[in-house]
Structure 1
């Protein structure tokens, strides 16, 4: 079929979610959604010699769980898409060495979940492939070592800090009808409000989420009221409040809105500062909690806006600001 964008958005007709696999870290398991995930880590090494190998193992386990549910083998998938936070998207690239089919690595920082789902949706709806698996991961220790300081240093955190979620999620998308479909997507623009503090991601990413939400609603002539729930990816408490204020100043009626970084943890008792972030944050909440509710018809339509800070340690050292992006996917239960 021929796909045509309406501004930054496009509606899809034949893209369905067939299965998923979710693996979470220790703190994520102890949070309010812990029982929603398929597998959890007892510690951050996960039986491996390095945190990076542990992240790769999480990805492999999530993929195996996802495919096992549909009785599929690695070779049965037409294309794999993957995203993580590390330089050269190391985790998914190294896992892809084990895959017999084509692989495309994507980088969108913490927006990787919605980005990979959107790209998969476009390829399936255009008729190029039948089955795509998306894979995303993040690990608190690997991300902190790359973007800030190794956790072993015990560096004191600012109040605005977010906590990188540890987890991996694989999702199988297909053109064969299922109980939940990817109904629409909105691709984000890179937005830079001249923020340069790597310990204040919520403030940096909120404008990107605002831009994508405004474009999504304008393109598709919708409002918050057209969704049972709208979630952003990882703005956490501080960024979540900033976004709400921006939307209200834009005369939007903000209802049924939450942030995955606030949903993944018990912010009153767990040591996660402002809440969660990372590729795994929106992926775990969406596929672990929201997707089952859509399957069970407890939710009808959900909008997921994964947010990403496109910083690099090198640019931060050069005092550059932090460009950010947000991509949106609309998930809908089939009657």
Structure 2
């Protein structure tokens, strides 16, 4: 794949994550090859670190740090020998930003998870944001902001093999164990879950097996994976995140919600994009159909993660979680 094709493929994912579209064009238009993606985006992130250092106010410094975190995370999306360093830089920049912008934000870590709990301590509900195959807590900052604006507390996390934990751990299919430890650490009686991309599988599985999940939503989550049909780039990423091709094949075999979907007692919203067509991936319609309280929202023009269609699903997702967790109008 050429650098131009790769940049075009990541366009709505990057802008959906909150990166300025004009800066994205400036950074990626000059790439000679995909190999330059990681180094170029890391340089851009470090430029925002310098702006943060020179900023005239803590607010401006924090905003530059959030932008840096986004760029560092995006640097990890292409094969890059220093990807683990970029992920660590994203983690540090996010932490520094929240220290400046939200002094009450609390870092919470435990066995197999790490993240930031944001929002009021007396919030009427808590939502856990679960990333996917190559995403991380630094990617979904705008989703977190939308939930915070509704008065909810939000825990944006990395799990095994994700984000800041990718260098020291591997993806696990039994994510309900991770979610259970998260709920224990947050010390709340019930939570909502939002899972994005492969995180949709993690969230749905956890909702079926962890009774403290009271509301759940998936965005571009797979119902089932067929290893033999998956595109080579997806299999390569999965192999890197699980510890090799054999482990990736075994992991993909676990991704099948047919038996678990009927066990999801919580109200479930499944969001898919009509243009999100990946060989070997069965999208979420069967999940919504088989779950006892499932609702399906398909956005015809939406792509993977629906970064090109945010007004068509994000408000409804916020309403679903707010109403289900609090009983109040969103």
Task: Identify the structure with bigger relative contact order (alpha carbons < 8 Å, sequence gap 6+).
Answer: 1
Higher helix share: 2
* TM surpasses 0.5: no
Structure-1-length-normalised TM-score = 0.36
